[in-house]
Amino acid sequence: VLSLASESDADWVSRVSHDWSTLLVDHAHCEKKAASTAINLIFRYQVFPELMAPLSAHAREELAHFELVLELLQARGVPFGPLEPSPYAVWLHREIRSEEPFRLLDTLLVCALIEARSCERMRLLADGLADGELARLYRGLLASEARHHTLFVDLATGRFGRQAVMERLGVLAEHEARVVAAMPEEVRMHSRGAYSG
């Protein structure tokens, strides 16, 4: 079960599907960022050995997703390149407390929420895209994203206990819902996606 406090609006898919190349390039960046976040956690929290192997496996899986999206971009003749980051993750990270152990708890739960939102939107894309190849890509990926959501909740629960995790997850999920609602109107995995072209 995903812990999101809001649902994406029903026409999000029809808006982002007008610009599938931006959606895919942005998606590639999201996979790359997910891998790099996991690797950063491995460096920062080496004192917690139980986090190492799960985060390492997670980083590899996100890099495999990155390569999958790169392949599709190449097959469609769309170059991968820099893209200004969506403010979604930046705004989410503002709720992460700077002192430990809260920093670790909040970081794991923000990762869980990002995975949950990706999973929710991939399901919308899998069900709603007329482009069969893209719909298949998202159908293939959404199960992993649901698993990733659970992974981060479980890692947090292992260290902080279920009650602390559920309380803070509720607060951060409300924040995440406000961030999604306030996103600029652009074609992104994590935007409101009110694309007018």
In the complex, the residues that contact Fe ion under the rule CB under 5 A are: 31, 34, 62, 65, 115, 145, 148
Instruction: Collect all residues with Cβ–Cβ distance below 8 Å to 57 and sequence separation of at least 6.
Output: none
User: Between 114 and 172, whose beta carbon lies closer to Fe ion?
Assistant: 114
Q: How far apart are CA 41 and CA 165, in angstroms?
A: 18
User: Between 95 and 115, whose beta carbon lies closer to Fe ion?
Assistant: 115
User: Between 26 and 62, whose beta carbon lies closer to Fe ion?
Assistant: 62
Least distance CB 29 / Fe ion (angstroms): 11
Least distance CB 98 / Fe ion (angstroms): 25
Least distance CB 79 / Fe ion (angstroms): 21
Least distance CB 99 / Fe ion (angstroms): 27
**What single string gives the DSSP state of each residue in 72-141?**
HHHHTTPPP---PPPHHHHHHHTTS-SSTTHHHHHHHHHHHHHHHHHHHHHHHHHHH-S-HHHHHHHHHH
